[in-house]
A = this chain, B = another copy of it.
Amino acid sequence: MNAGRTARERARAELTEEIKTAARQQLATVGAEALSLRAISRELGMVSSALYRYFASRDELLTALIIDAYDALGAAAEAAPSGGDPVDDWIAVYAAVRDWARANPQEYALIYGSPISGYQAPQTTVQPASRVPLLLLGLLQRAQASGRLVTPPDAPSPSGALAQQTEVLVALAPDVPPAVLVRTVIVWTQLFGMLSFELFGQLVGSMDPADEFFASASRQMAAFVGLS
């Protein structure tokens, strides 16, 4: 539909991409909340008001960057080496997520740090945001099919409202037992809690550098959800 019809449209798409690239560069150096439209326009040799032809506001630019970041992280996680062994695959996903986060700390902070004040994330971000959890769920679903997922005996089956909330995940991975699905959410939060602590400097003084701790946690979390 919009595959570069007129010269105008092509130029517009190109410049939009250039703006995002410049914004990402500035993001990497000064951080998210210090991102300045004027600085971006200066970098591109244009005037600040011209940017508003491409992004209606600073928030809209941020939204585009957030979606791009989620997509980049999702792509990095999905590109993790998959050798077939569920535990190894699980650990590879963890490592890929960590590698991407360490390589793009500001973009990581953009999506998993504190929300930007006055900024409301639009619905458009939730689909790219769910790529990593979906990847983990798919991995568990396949492991279950191949008999490599053994529900831990001490994993309590959810009841009440928790069981109801788990239904959303059951629809995505129907063969994975609800008790494991709850644990999946637990380890999902653990993964990003661990990464945030490492990147935001909370581990300094204890588990920093975090390579070995991360490796141990990955493996223990794989066992925690029942992978073997």
Which residues of A line the B interface, CB within 8 A? 30-34, 109-110, 112-118, 121, 126, 129, 154-156, 158, 160-162, 165, 168-169, 182-183, 185-187, 189-194, 196-197, 200-202, 204-207, 209, 211-213, 216-217, 219-221, 223-224
Question: In the complex, given contacts A32-B114, A113-B200, A193-B196, what are 4 additional A-B residue pairs having Cβ atoms less than 8 angstroms apart?
Answer: A31-B118, A115-B200, A121-B201, A186-B190
Which of B117, B182, B183, B192 sits near A34, CB closer than 8 Å?
B117
- Number of copies of this kind of chain in the complex: 2
Known: A192-B193, A193-B192. A202 touches B112 (CB 8 A): yes
Known: A129-B202, A212-B162, A213-B165. A117 touches B30 (CB 8 A): yes
Decide if the interface of chain A is mainly helix, strand, loop or mixed. helix
Docked CA distance A96–B160 (Å): 23
Nearest CB of B to A114, in Å: 3
Assess whether B154 is in contact with A206, with CB atoms less than 8 Å apart: no
Inside 8 A of A121's CB, which chain B residues have their CB? 201
Assess whether B194 is in contact with A186, with CB atoms less than 8 Å apart: yes
Docked CA distance A154–B116 (Å): 41
Docked CA distance A219–B186 (Å): 12
Known: A31-B118, A112-B202, A206-B165. A189 touches B194 (CB 8 A): yes
Assess whether B113 is in contact with A205, with CB atoms less than 8 Å apart: no
